[in-house]
Amino acid sequence: MTANQPHILIIEDDASMARFLQTLLRSHQYGVEAAAGGAEGLRCLSGRTPDLVLLDLGLGDMDGVALLRELRAWSAMPVIVISAREREAEKVEALDAGADDYLTKPFGAQELLARIRVALRRPGRDAELPLQLGDITVDPAARRVCKGGEPLHLTPTEYKLLLFLLRHAEKVVTHRQILSAVWGPAHVEHHEYVRVHMSQLRQKLEAQPAHPRILLTEPGIGYRLVVP
Ligand code: CA
């Protein structure tokens, strides 16, 4: 193991799942540590700080969301939650509590590795630099959006929404996170705002708004902007 190898902490009480994850990640040159429960996970976190945490939500001794809240009180390290189907509701709770992404069991190895790569990508790029989304260019410094070279008119709310999604590109964002950032914390229950404005944005940005390729829906959770 080398010093600049990303180090991942797995907090998972299911021994066979933990073994699968360890083998997979080690074979992809990640440094791995595994904790079999919440208490052990917190102990590991207080020792060597990992670059990323894979957190199961159904831990034997502790609620994964509670552990995440505790962690978020002092750290912004990337956290990907792993949930079982019967814990769908907790997934949204975990994302609202600051998880970076989620996977539902059973998931594929390639999917997990892709999510880890995205989560580990440092937010190094300058938020003011122009960004390319297929044939769409967003220039935050000039507050300008172009499609195929032609200026695109977005309302201030649509623009704010697009910018928020861009700043979280490739990551899932919940309805509450979008509402809080774009409309303000008083509006976090108004899911219909997001639905309406997302539909408008798709009309303007997507080649086929009914089959979006940039602004994807995460059913029951929120949205994910992907760079085509
Ligand atoms: Ca479990």
Measure 18 CA to ligand 1 centroid, in angstroms: 10
- State the pLDDT at residue 2: 55
Which contiguous run of DSSP H or E holds residue 216?
Answer: strand 215-218
Q: Which two tokens stand for residue 31?
A: 């440094």
Chain centroid offset of residue 53 CA: 13
The mean-pLDDT minimum among 67-81, 120-134, 157-171, 185-199 falls in: 120-134
Residue 126 pLDDT > 90, yes or no? no
* Strand, coil or helix: 138: strand
The amino acid at residue 26 is R
Please classify residue 57 by burial: count the beta carbons closer than 10 Å to its beta carbon, then call 0-12 exposed, 13-18 middle and 19+ buried. buried
Instruction: Read off the pLDDT band of 197 (50, 70, 90).
Output: very high
Measure 201 CA to ligand 1 centroid, in angstroms: 38
Residue 122 pLDDT > 70, yes or no? no
CA dihedral (197, 201, 206, 209) positive or negative: positive
Rounded distance between C-alpha atoms, residue 39 and residue 78, angstroms: 19
Measure 59 CA to ligand 1 centroid, in angstroms: 5
Rounded distance between C-alpha atoms, residue 216 and residue 86, angstroms: 23
Residues 112, 133 contacting (CB under 8 angstroms) = no
Rounded distance between C-alpha atoms, residue 13 and residue 147, angstroms: 48
CA dihedral (67, 48, 123, 81) positive or negative: negative
How much is the average pLDDT of 111-135? 82
- State the pLDDT at residue 89: 82
Measure 226 CA to ligand 1 centroid, in angstroms: 29
Residues 92, 221 contacting (CB under 8 angstroms) = yes
CB atoms under 10 Å from CB of 180, counted, come to 16
Inter-CA distances, 44 with 11, 40, 106, 126, Å = 9, 6, 26, 33
Please classify residue 129 by burial: count the beta carbons closer than 10 Å to its beta carbon, then call 0-12 exposed, 13-18 middle and 19+ buried. exposed
Residue 8 pLDDT > 80, yes or no? yes
In whole numbers, what is the pLDDT of the chain averaged over residues?
Answer: 91
Measure 17 CA to ligand 1 centroid, in angstroms: 9
Please classify residue 109 by burial: count the beta carbons closer than 10 Å to its beta carbon, then call 0-12 exposed, 13-18 middle and 19+ buried. middle
Measure 82 CA to ligand 1 centroid, in angstroms: 9
Residue in the block written with tokens 């990992």? 50
Measure 57 CA to ligand 1 centroid, in angstroms: 7
Measure 29 CA to ligand 1 centroid, in angstroms: 25
pLDDT in tens, 18-75: 999 999 999 999 999 999 999 999 999 988 889 999 999 999 899 999 999 999 988 8
Q: Which two tokens stand for residue 110?
A: 């390639």
**What is the pTM (predicted TM-score) of this model?**
0.81
Measure 42 CA to ligand 1 centroid, in angstroms: 16
Measure 14 CA to ligand 1 centroid, in angstroms: 5
Q: Hey, what domains does the chain have and what are their CATH numbers? A: 7-121 (3.40.50.2300), 125-225 (1.10.10.10)
Pick from 79, 40, 78, 46: which is nearest to 59 by CA? Answer: 40
